[in-house]
Amino acid sequence: MLRSFLFAALALFISPAPAAPPVSATTQAPAAPVASTRSHPGIFVATIHSVDSASGMVSLLTGRGHALRIVQVLLPPKLEIKKIGAAAPRSELKPGAIVRVRFVESIHGARQASAVDLMESQESGR
């Protein structure tokens, strides 16, 4: 039974991808992206790994599935930190706190926070 399950799972991974629809003569090619002016928004729900108050950089421990990674996000000086909808001081951003960070990522990979929600601080005991 295990052998048949493994063969079925293997068949799913090695089956060919569906063919792309044919390109007609009337279909136009997509416009080329603008190289350096685009930014990509995103959200991390993560645990704070470290905070550098001098530079405004925060290291976040985040992951997807079984893969963990540490990412760097810049917190602008005037960014408002929120905790349960109310303003919270930056001093509450400590290693171990769980945060939701909305950010924009430049074409070069730099991330800058646009909103930070403190979901659970380390002092809450959870």
> What's the pLDDT score for residue 92?
93
Q: Which helix (H) or strand (E) holds 103?
A: strand 98-106
Query: Please, what are the domains in the chain?
Result: 38-126 (2.40.50.320)
What is the per-residue pLDDT across 17-27, written as a single tens digit (0 to 9) for each? Answer: 555 555 554 55
Phi/psi region, residue 114 (left: phi>0; alpha: psi -120 to 50; beta: rest), is alpha
Other C-beta atoms within 10 Å of 101: how many? 23
Q: Where is average pLDDT lowest: 49-63, 68-82, 112-126?
A: 112-126
CA torsion angle 76 78 83 89 (round to 10): 100
- Three-class DSSP category at 102: strand
Tokens 């405004």 belong to residue: 56
> What's the pLDDT score for residue 94?
95
- Give the whole-angstrom CA distance, residue 119 versus residue 121: 7
